[in-house]
Amino acid sequence: MRTSPLHDLPPPAILPQHLTLRQRARPASAGELAAIPWLQVLDDEHRQLAIAQLQIGEAEVGERVCRIGKPANFWFGVVDGLLKMSNDDAAAQSITFTGVPPGGWFGEGTLLKREVYRYNIQALRKSTVAGLPIETFHTLLETSLAFNRFVLNQLNERLGQFIAAREIDRISDPDLRVARNLAALFNPLLYPGVGGMLRITQQELARLVGLSRQRVNEALKHLQEHQLIAVDYGGLRVLDLDGLRRYRP
């Protein structure tokens, strides 16, 4: 968990006809379907079932995909862009739990228990988001062994991620905080769409880590000097993921 000293994101942009993300949803294109990792492990019958129900929406900067207290009706994933998971904006301290880059799917635990969301999911940049209706999610769980394995692996990896996040909470060194958070965003099992290049600005990373943009910039320079990352135009490349995980200033 990261407590951010920065201001919250700007309010969502005024959208055409004030339509919600769900109201603006459309079917997925072939390219978007190819970017959904769990579709690739399904047999033909289950894949076609999922494709028929999948919806795609374009979330504007600051727009909420999920809101605390709302029923969980969809399993969501990021096709392109960057989201953040956080507590209630009205809280005394705004806490960011994690970022969700391309390839990441989230909320399976909430859907399994058919609960309301206990966190907000908000777009840090314009993002393409996929949604699978909850009833289709449960149908796949009940009838597809491959889907069960994928969700089980997701839950296992996410548990490890949140244990690591608790450890990051106790880290006071800014360079180490940035290193651990970057390593989490490059998790190949949770976020296979990232690959070796994460498109993120220093301001977006600052919001996730809970540091100023200037301090994040310094940390990135130090990590680059250790040949762990390379700062490219519009994003970051990880040169040594294991080294980033083991990094000590």
* pLDDT one-digit tens code per residue, 132-144: 999 999 999 999 9
Pair of tokens at residue 123: 């777009």
By the 8 A CB rule, do 141 and 151 touch? Answer: yes
- Half-sphere exposure at residue 155, Cβ-oriented, CA atoms within 13 angstroms: 11
**Average pLDDT over all residues of the chain:** 86
pLDDT at res. 234: 81
By the 8 A CB rule, do 88 and 16 touch? Answer: no
Looking at the chain, which runs of residues are DSSP E strands? Answer: 2-3, 55-59, 64-66, 74-80, 83-86, 95-100, 105-106, 120-123, 127-133, 197-198, 229-232, 235-238
Least confident window among 3-17, 103-117, 221-235: 3-17
- Tell me the domains of the chain and their CATH numbers: 2-161 (2.60.120.10), 173-246 (1.10.10.10)
Q: Which residues contact 5 (CB under 8 A, 6 or more apart)?
A: 210, 211, 212
Dihedral of alpha carbons 170, 176, 180, 185, sign: positive
Higher pLDDT, 170 or 33: 33
By the 8 A CB rule, do 198 and 208 touch? Answer: no
- Cα–Cα distance between 3 and 62 in angstroms, integer? 18
Instruction: Out of 55-64, 86-95, 173-182, give the one with best mean pLDDT.
Output: 55-64
Condensed to tens digits (0 to 9), the pLDDT of residues 198-215 reads 999 999 999 888 889 999
Is residue 168 very low, low, confident or very high in pLDDT (cuts 50, 70, 90)?
low
Q: Which residues contact 141 (CB under 8 A, 6 or more apart)?
A: 112, 147, 148, 151
First to last CA, the chain: 21
Dihedrals phi, psi of 96, to nearest 5 degrees? -95, 125
